Amino acid sequence: MSSTFQLDTATSRANPTPAPMKRLTVPAIRKRKVGGATAEPIVMLTAYTARQAQLLDAHCDVLLVGDSLGQVIYGLPSSVQVTLDMMAAHGAAVVRGSYHSVVIVDMPFGSYEASPQQAFESASRLLKETGCAGVKLEGGEAMAPTVEFLVKRGIPVIGHVGLTPQAVNVLGGYNARGRSHAEAQKIVTDAVALDAAGAFAIVIEGVVEPIAIDVTKAVTCPTIGIGASAQCDGQVLVTEDMLGMFERVPRFVRRYEEIADTISAAAERYATDVRARTFPGIEQTYQPK
């Protein structure tokens, strides 16, 4: 039986433990879509740490180590500032904390656009250093040759069309895409090109719903929506958005919990106990024998 690393809660150390189930594979995800239909939608969430991966893993098909960690973890203004070192470190943590999901790591801005060779060097580093199953990159028809180059050299790729956050400076913001006829056509064309290049799935982000449906029908690989449509072949959200960790709620997010309130309330109770000298109590201190 294969092993993974789980945190020993008594010591906070990562120790190998038997994997309770076999990890999903890229071909298994790709085969979810048969004859243009996906009977079992693909569940994807972002993960950035080993512990987060442990909590999400059993419920997901894919864990995405997204470059959204720039904003979520590091407080950066956008994902443009994220580095390959960041992605490698967090990707390795998520792989160590998971045993079931396919782990995919985002290629950060500037690590793949210059040439297919640059993309291969960056992607192969991520696979070697993290143990992830594949990478995700943004861009449509222009990136299709790069996707084909990677896939032919053994690196599985998820494409990403529509609203592409790494291109925020060109797009001028995070508004929904595909409202004009020309832009809608380009999104479909981009997705078809990535599909033909060998992408095993395509993320469709922030597009008007009819275009997301058109893309899903136009490609043979599964589509994974975020701000797109329930008719996509799967869905992804930033986990912290779904859990209510931030005040702002994007239109496409459904909050399943209000974790920020829980954390704040717990910190408030702790602070009250410390100031009242009621913590630590006898149960939390070491007494002479």
Q: Is the pLDDT of residue 48 over 80?
A: yes
CATH code, domain with 215: 3.20.20.60
Q: What is the pLDDT of residue 248?
A: 87
Asked if residue 101 belongs to a domain, the reply is: yes
- Cα–Cα distance measured from residue 233 to residue 195, given in angstroms and rounded to the nearest whole number: 14
Q: What is the pLDDT of residue 1?
A: 30
Asked if residue 133 belongs to a domain, the reply is: yes
Q: Which residues are catalytic?
A: 205
Where b means 16+ CB within 10 Å and e means fewer, 221-235 reads bbbbbbbbbeebbbb
More confident residue, 178 or 66: 66
Segments forming the whole domain that contains residue 196 = 3-284
Asked if residue 289 belongs to a domain, the reply is: no
Asked if residue 45 belongs to a domain, the reply is: yes
Work out how many domains the chain is built from and give that number.
1
Q: Is the pLDDT of residue 15 over 70?
A: no
122 known ligand binder: no
For the purposes of burial, counting CB atoms within 10 Å of the CB of 238, is it exposed (0-12), middle (13-18) or buried (19 or more)? buried
Q: Which H helix or E strand runs over 54?
A: helix 50-57
Q: What is the pLDDT of residue 34?
A: 96
Average pLDDT, the chain: 92
Give residue-wise pLDDT tens across range 241-277: 999 999 988 889 999 999 999 999 999 999 999 999 9
pTM for this prediction: 0.91
106 known ligand binder: yes
- Cα–Cα distance measured from residue 64 to residue 47, given in angstroms and rounded to the nearest whole number: 6
Q: Is the pLDDT of residue 132 over 60?
A: yes
Q: If pLDDT is split at 50, 70 and 90, which confidence band does 3 have?
A: very low
121 known ligand binder: no
Q: If pLDDT is split at 50, 70 and 90, which confidence band does 2 have?
A: very low
